[in-house]
Amino acid sequence: MARTKKNKPGRNKKAAAAAASSSAAPPPPASRPAKKPKLAHKPKLHVPSIPSHYNGFHPPSAGWQVPRVPASLITPESFFTEFIAKRQPCIITGDTSVLDETTRAKWRDLTYLAQVAGTQRILVEEKGPAGEHCS
């Protein structure tokens, strides 16, 4: 019988050892990298429910004015809770110099807005001639 690589003496032992080492159990835990510790308390954002219907904004009284909120004093959570969830308008005031001109310009660009908003539909309310809000 002619010897080939397949039946060469000692070849089967090496192949068996290689196969055994590739299917061997994982190394003991001490040699594995440490896992990231889990947070004991994960911060949770309380998101109030938002009604799915909307009939437009109606000012609560004749002399009501849109509240002005300094950007430096409002957090995303309080903005959501006080204005978005209640569907109440506000005017955010303050220094926008933290935004570079490129950032400010892209939010005025209708092509950019179409790219990021896609085909989302929104309700736009206009202020009437006598200060009434129309929907």
What's the structural domain count of the chain? 1
The CA distance from 10 to 7, in Å, is 8
Residue 94 lies in a domain: yes
* pTM to 2 decimal places: 0.41
At position 120, the amino acid (one-letter code) is Q
Residue 58 lies in a domain: no
For every residue of the chain, which 3-state class applies, written as one string? Answer: CCCCCCCCCCHHHHHHHHHHHHCCCCCCHHHCCCCCCCCCCCCCCCCCCCCCCCCCCCCCCCCCCCCEEEHHHCCHHHHHHHHHCCCCCCEEECCCCCCCHHHHHHCCCHHHHHHHHCCCCCCCCEECCCCCEEC
Residue 15 lies in a domain: no
What would the pLDDT profile of 32-78 be if each residue is shown by its tens digit?
556 655 655 555 655 556 556 666 777 888 888 999 998 888 887 88
Residue 34 lies in a domain: no
Residue 108 lies in a domain: yes
Residue 12 lies in a domain: no
pLDDT at 110 over 60: yes
Average pLDDT for residues 111-115, to the nearest whole number? 88
What would the pLDDT profile of 9-38 be if each residue is shown by its tens digit?
555 566 555 555 555 555 555 565 566 556
Domain coverage including residue 113: 68-121
Identify the pLDDT of residue 135: 46
Identify the pLDDT of residue 67: 92
Residue 132 lies in a domain: no
Identify the pLDDT of residue 52: 62
Residue 110's Cα: distance from chain center in Å? 23
pLDDT at 81 over 70: yes
Identify the pLDDT of residue 44: 61
CA atoms 75, 77, 78, 83: torsion sign: positive
Q: DSSP state, 39? A: P
Residue 114 lies in a domain: yes
Strand-strand pairing, 126-127 and 68-70: unpaired
Structure tokens of 4? 């080939």
